Amino acid sequence: MDPRRDRPVQFAAIRTDQDFNVIGRPIELFSQISPDYLPAAEACLVTGITPQIAQQRGLPEAEFMRKVNAAMSEPGTCTIGYNSIRFDDEVTRHSLYRNLIEPYGREWQNGNSRWDIIDLVRTCHALRPEGIEWPKNEQGNVSFKLELLTVANDLAHENAHDAVSDVYATIAMAKLIKEKQPKLFDFLYQNRSKQRVESMLVDAMTDAKGPQPVMHISGRISPVQGCGAWVVPVFRDPKQKTKFLTINLTMDLEPLLELSAEQFAERLYAKRELLEQQGLKPLPIKWIQSNKCPVVAPAKTLRPEDAERIGIDRDECLVQLKLLQQHSAAIIEKIELWHHIESQREMPPQDADTALYDGFIGDADKKVMEHIHTLEPTQLSGIHNAFNDARLNTLLFRYKARNYPHTLDYDEQQKWMAFCKQRVTESGQGWQTLTEFEQRIEKLGQVHADNSRNMRILKQCVDYVRATYG
């Protein structure tokens, strides 16, 4: 799934107090999909939501996202999910942007914030596991899948992957950790603020004795070592000041010492499997973004007994730290040169739908966006090129066509039909094409041939696509 390109069709939320007691009725919304987008058959199988259900029960995406944004924007709201920072929030941002709604305000305005329970769970397992049952997967590693955690801890989760059921399960898991490990919970909740994270990272980076380690938990770190590591911040992006580059002390520092700045990129972006085949070591570096609620804590929070349990050799980390401090000036100089080279690299032009991060939206354009959402659909037909930002002018036409196609004149209808055809037939653009859809259906049909429920869902996907595209 691609948060920039794929479309949400269901949203669920439940408002609670700070102790996770439910104080509001569940919110459940569905969204229609527009003809420039092909349904993801795999997602339909997981959720049971077919394109027909989305079209029958759903709102136009613009109205759907207005309601989602309103719920999340209520003053004092902390929006919490399970794996939400890296996925759900990205889907939300891009869906708001695609529908000409300011994409970031609900995250910070009016005392609002966001947080992610999955990193709370990972941290609880790595640092303070007592009181929680930890299920394991087939590889023998702890699994952080919500449906397995709820079963292991006897928490209600009647219909995994149903949005409302998943929300109740997330609430139950968060409440359990708050009850069993209240100090850990409070520490991480308070440190969802980027200012507090940045303070810890800057202090570690500028210590008079040389750069110092912090404890970091992340899904990007191997589950074999509890998704945790001592990392040392050594570089802050001069333009994107929320990005800090850290050195992972649980990995070999040798590549940092031996490789040139020019070789960094090649090693950094190579797949781990390919490096292993070639007998090469990966770069021991990791970016931390302070505005993504990362788990950063003092190094001492990793107790010796927990380090042994999750497989981190503290003594070896201290040896690596000494080596890093001895060569820190040379390593940092190399990193700065590598980053400069990377920043000069020209990026391919983005389609307007995926160009959210190409630049912030200006204040004047934000006012136009607000105005557009006060208009009746019939009032949209006369609005063209209303923005200073070219991305938004492109999105304005698509906004009208996707949500209110009856407002298009004949020429606009022809333009929209041509765009939809191009979107579902041109390969190599990142969007699913008709050919790719058919190939997926064929493969999934072979896998699920004996499952009548899944075959029925696949047939409905095919029926929708045939009815839409002929």
Contact 317, 250 (CB under 8 A): yes
The whole-angstrom distance between residue 56's C-alpha and the CA centroid of its chain comes to 28
Which DSSP letter does residue 143 get?
A: P
Tokens linked to 100: 């000409």
E strand or H helix at 244, and its extent?
strand 243-248
Question: Tokens 């569940």 map to which residue?
Answer: 26
Tell me the DSSP string of 205-221.
HT-TTS---EEEE-TTS
Q: How many C-beta atoms lie closer than 10 Å to residue 329's C-beta?
A: 10
Distance between the two ends of the chain, CA-based, in angstroms? 26
Torsion on CA atoms 462, 464, 467, 470, rounded to nearest 10: -40
Both tokens of 255, joined, read 């590549």
Rg (Cα) of the chain, in Å, rounded?
24
Are the C-beta atoms of 250 and 312 separated by less than 8 Å? yes
Query: Strand pairing of 243-248 and 285-289?
Result: antiparallel
Helix, strand, coil % over all residues of the chain, rounded to 5: 55, 10, 35
CB 371 within 8 A of CB 384: no
Evaluate the CA torsion angle 78, 83, 84, 85 in order and state its sign. positive
Residue 356: half-sphere exposure toward Cβ, Cα within 13 Å: 20
What is the rounded CA–CA span in Å between residue 377 and residue 98?
Answer: 17
Strand partners, 298: 214
Contact 276, 295 (CB under 8 A): no
- Which of 116, 105, 96, 115 is CA-nearest to residue 74? 105
C-beta separation of 110 from 76 below 8 A: yes
- Tell me if 351 is assigned to a ligand binding site: no
Binding-site annotation: residue ranges for Mg(2+): 166
Binding-site annotation: residue ranges: 166
